[in-house]
Amino acid sequence: MPIHHPDRAHDLATRIEMEVRERLEEAVDYVCLEALVRTRRARGLPPPLADNDADRREYTAHVRAFLLLLEGDLADCLDPERRRKLPTADGGGDESTRLMSVQVALARLLPDYWQRFDEARSRYLAEPPPSGGESGGSLLSRLFRRG
């Protein structure tokens, strides 16, 4: 018996896109929170706080930088016809929304998307100086939980 989520009363293609977007948002969130913590630790700063505007801006900068890195790496893998299917800036839209929409499209177009995502994640997280063994993922997810 199929599971019906109350918010998923859409056609199959829309539901797939929503699931891909949700998974991508979680993966990008994890990468960027980890990068934020590593960067702050390397600078000798305290852990980020969810209600701190400067911490949120720094996190948002990580999200944008990582999404741009992904777009640059992965869009180059597409032939011109498939590249035309990617969302473009329309002048009035939110750039973060467009960047995430590009990743959703790439995840649906590239069969090895998640392997490539993982390679980009490793490279991005290697940029800030590595820290000790703690990852802080679950604590950070609670701190920066989206409402």
Q: What is the pLDDT of residue 134?
A: 37
Task: Report the number of distinct structural domains present in the chain.
Answer: 1
Judged on CB neighbours under 10 Å (0-12, 13-18, 19+), 14 is exposed
Of 31-35, 69-73, 126-130, 141-145, least confident by mean pLDDT is 141-145
Q: Is residue 36 part of a domain?
A: yes
115 to 28, 61, 72, 75, 137: CA distances (angstroms): 14, 24, 15, 14, 21
Summarize the confidence of residues 42-60 as an average pLDDT: 90
Q: Write down the pTM of the prediction.
A: 0.75
The one-letter code for the residue type at 55 is D
Q: Is residue 4 part of a domain?
A: no
Q: Is residue 58 part of a domain?
A: yes
- Token pair listed for 84: 């035309």
Q: What is the pLDDT of residue 136?
A: 41
**125: pLDDT strictly greater than 70:** yes
Q: Is residue 76 part of a domain?
A: yes
Q: Is residue 1 part of a domain?
A: no
CA-nearest of 109, 130, 144, 147 to 28 is 144
Summarize the confidence of residues 99-118 as an average pLDDT: 92
**9: pLDDT strictly greater than 90:** no
pLDDT band for 113, please (50, 70, 90 cuts): very high
Q: Is residue 2 part of a domain?
A: no
- Token pair listed for 104: 């959703």
CA-nearest of 95, 96, 117, 115 to 27 is 117
Q: Domain of 46?
A: 12-143
Q: Is residue 5 part of a domain?
A: no
**91: pLDDT strictly greater than 60:** no
